[in-house]
Structure 1
Amino acid sequence: MRPNTDEIIEVERFCTKIIKELSKRLEEEGIATKVETHGSVARGTWISGDKDVDLFIILDPSLDGTYLHKTLDVVKGYLGTGWTESYAEHPYIRAKKEGFDVEFIPCFNFDPSRSIISSTDRTPLHTQYVNHNLKTVQRDEVRLLKQFMRGVGVYGAEVKIGGFSGYLCELLIIKFESFESTLKAASSWKHSEAINLIDDSNPSKPLKKFKDPLIVPDPVDPKRNVASAVSERSMWTFVAAARSFLKNPHEKYFYPEKVEADESSILPLFRENSRFIFICINDESVPVPDVLWGQLYKTERAISKFLSVKDFTVIRSGVWSDEVSQHILVFELAYDPISKTLLSMGPPVEMTKNSEKFLKAHIHSNLVTAGPWIEGCRWWVLLKREENRARSILEKEFKKKCPMLGAPRRFRTLLESNSRVLIDNEIVEYIKGRFGEFLYQFLKGRPCWLD
């Protein structure tokens, strides 16, 4: 996990070179700034093999917000081609350069007398805090924690993962001093666990401000929760994996075994007592990853809710995307088709007018298979379903641009015109590469570290 001497020299040379070249360009454009390396490279906590570099272009706080865009224009000119513009709270540039994945992030030099202009203004302060408080021997402890979190699938604060950021890992080691101690502490975490690096005398104080599953106030900006991106699933996955590792330490927690995901390993995992529905979407204009995954998860929740409203029992669901042109949503249903009839509840008998309307609507209806009858104090009737198969119900809804789904508008359009609904092993044509790996793990339904 620890980078070797050649790797360290390579990244230092690259950073020195690019900082010198970009600083010269910015100076020529008359932009008062300094370019610095931040993130794990600057804090000495990066993992061997990683080629990620975060370059921060720090502007004078006297400049206004328009200089963020002016600075990025200079970066684009410096790079020429091969860059993409991404967005968090503010835009930044991502590029592949000399084998490194580089993010060019403009921010403002933090002035304590003024409020933060952009959220990235804190990052240089994060570097100062970590470098001041993290002991040299603890940097390998951070690497262990990061790789462990990668192995169990909870490393990364991006929307896709909803997990632990590198900075949060560093703070946990500063607080608990070692990888093993961090796992021991995590083993007994509760909901809305508060970890206070600011005021040890009152560790529960942050609870009054935040309502997240995990609460770690930023020591350089206590109004912010460093762990706000950590989802319940990621938090409890980490807790469970920590407990499991402490009982039975194994390399698989850090480096999960790669499974050859193909037809021979995947098809036997389809179960006779449930049904898998796949929605395959082709997308020609994929947004940046954080926006994309936010839309995908919202679409997944909307379709799950729609299926539930239609009386299907959704056992679980998942999302996969290559982030380029193809997305696949999968839903495991307890049964499909459902019954051909639907029990419909009518009004209480004591409500005279409503009862008359209900009876008038159902006594001579061709959709009624039984009733109306009185059960307890209400009218009831048994109706025929127009459709009782998930695929036909979904396809019909997609053609209507999903007015009931509540999915993002862009995905409603994609579902209408660029989607296919497949059942069980009909998905076989898509079983290859990364999707095959995802599907194998989804069908298996058990984290690899539990094997």
Structure 2
Amino acid sequence: MQQYDLISVLERVSELVTPSKERREKVEGLLRESLFKVESIIKDMGINAEVVPVGSVARDTWLPDDIDIDIFILLSRDFPEDKLGSVAVEVARRAFGSYTLRYSEHPYASCRVDDIDIEIVPAYKIMKGEKIVSSADRTPLHNNYLMGKLNSNLRKDIRILKAFAKSIGVYGAEVKVEGFSGYLLELLILFYGDFISLVRNAADWRPPVFIDIERIASKGEALKKFDSPLIVIDPVDPNRNVASPLSKTQFFRFVAACRALLNKPTEEMFRSRKEISFTPSRIKKELLERGTDIIVLLVEDLDLPPDTLWTQAKYISKRIRYVLEENGFRVLWCAGHTDEKSTVAVAAELESLEIPKALIREGPPVASQGERDFLIKHISDKNTLSGPYIEGDRWYVVKRRRFFNAADLISDYLSGKNAPKLVRGRKVRIVTGNEIGKVPEEIRNFIGKNLLREEVFTEMLV
């Protein structure tokens, strides 16, 4: 019965994720227009290059509400690598006016036309088996490989899979998501044959999962080389794991979501989620009910590409959590966020912003080799509150903490030599729960989602 229900759900979902005639005409028309512009500009610049469309639009695997037109400028190997980014920027400026500079191993430009993203990516033209200069060089090979494999049924199931991955929040290999790239999802459908077969298999995945569509790699060597829950050998490069950006969390969220879908099939597992807005009063109410508090770091007035901002946000959040826990604070969660423009934020929910000034430290056993050094260190120390004393067979001492307030601790850490490079020499705003109204709305929404964090598919598992 469940199989029949799932098939019925997928039939309806397929209609939802298939572009309408009008939408298709708009996208295909924009693609043709964009290619013509880029080709003309490249010619005017006197650059010998091939302009090719790649990605989901080129392969007809795109979703109606999530469209990226990827245009690659393929240059000869003798073109200076340090000028690749300037080619993308100049073409984007002349073709579309405004752009956002992004980075992979070298810069590329992202433009916006109505509700459609157009990415201008410079790369070197290579043949299969040739050594790459950057990862972007492989992308046209990926496109050629899939174009020779896909048919209408596979394209239909790829769209269904992309909608599923997007709905549960695992679609995207960028630092922000750490999930499944579009190319990876397409390879999974190609390997398993259809969406249902993929879901049934993925529901039982146990890491490490090894997939080699073309059987071009050694499983034993791959398991040694790649520390990843999912290993999918790139059909055009046996030394690359397509799933390397996938985090363990996102891997298991996908596995659990597949189990949930098989247990209780529903169209809701394929619909985009609406953003929830959190007012300052709502966040304060949640903190009051939980008996916890929030501390927020805001690093502002930055001028860095979005991917770099996300990398820094996640890195700094890991460091802040470590510092807090090392100094005795109980952290429920700590996460980083960025508006992808100029601000990086790190928020942590703590059991309390203040902890006792006193802490107990366990010393060595009585009459052991370390006894004398322990006693000398603590007998006359100004931060010794009581002890050293013996309990059982060991020495103990009660010490005064250097920091018992989370804001003071973080402020000291950020001003020190071990602070992350991004914050050195910068003024960092530190805000607590009572001042949450001073935090921008986007950051409040990020905090709210972490406070009420839950999986959209949990109820379908029971």
**Residue 330 of structure 2 contacts residue 351 of structure 2 at CA under 8 Å; is this kept in 1?**
yes
Distance 2:77 2:102 in 1: 23
Aligned to 2:431: 421
Whether 1:281 and 2:298 are equivalent positions in the alignment is yes
Of 426, 434, 445, which aligns to 2:453? 445
Distance 1:349 1:151 in 2: 60
Aligned to 1:121: 137
Aligned to 1:149: 165
TM-score, length of structure 1 as denominator length: 0.89
Instruction: Give the letter for the 1:419 counterpart.
Output: R
Q: Single out whichever of 254-263 and 287-296 deviates more from structure 2.
A: 254-263
Aligned to 2:423: 411
Aligned to 1:343: 360
Distance 2:250 2:282 in 1: 27
**Residue 395 of structure 1 contacts residue 421 of structure 1 at CA under 8 Å; is this kept in 2?**
no
Alignment of 1:31-430 (within 5 A): 31-61=47-77, 63-66=79-82, 68-69=84-85, 71-72=87-88, 74-76=90-92, 78-79=94-95, 81-97=97-113, 100-112=116-128, 114-199=130-215, 206-255=222-271, 256=273, 259-263=276-280, 265-270=282-287, 274-347=291-364, 349-350=366-367, 355-375=371-391, 378-398=394-414, 401-403=415-417, 406-414=418-426, 417-423=427-433, 425-430=434-439
- C-alpha RMSD over aligned residues: 2.7
Q: Single out whichever of 196-205 and 317-326 deviates more from structure 2.
A: 196-205
Instruction: Give the letter for the 1:281 counterpart.
Output: L
| Change over 3 Å in CA distance of 1:201–1:15 after alignment to 2 | closer
Alignment of 1:9-48 (within 5 A): 9-48=25-64
Deviations 1:358-393 (A, max 9, x none): 434433444322211234554321122344232332
Distance 2:239 2:250 in 1: 23
Distance 1:180 1:264 in 2: 44
Residue 281 of structure 1 aligns to a residue in which SS? strand
Residue 121 of structure 2 aligns to a residue in which SS? strand
TM-score, length of structure 2 as denominator length: 0.87
Structure 1 residue 262: Cα displacement: 3.3
Q: Single out whichever of 369-378 and 119-128 deviates more from structure 2.
A: 369-378
Structure 1 residue 397: Cα displacement: 3.3
Distance 2:435 2:59 in 1: 49
| Change over 3 Å in CA distance of 1:320–1:74 after alignment to 2 | closer
Q: Number of residues paired by the alignment?
A: 442
Structure 1 residue 112: Cα displacement: 4.1
Distance 2:114 2:290 in 1: 52
Distance 1:355 1:323 in 2: 54
Residue 441 of structure 1 aligns to a residue in which SS? helix
Gaps of 5+ in 2: 1-16
Instruction: Give the letter for the 2:446 counterpart.
Output: F
**Residue 302 of structure 2 contacts residue 343 of structure 2 at CA under 8 Å; is this kept in 1?**
no
Residue 133 of structure 1 aligns to a residue in which SS? coil
| Change over 3 Å in CA distance of 1:290–1:279 after alignment to 2 | same
Distance 1:101 1:337 in 2: 46
Structure 1 residue 431: Cα displacement: 7.0
Gaps of 5+ in 1: none
Structure 1 residue 66: Cα displacement: 4.9
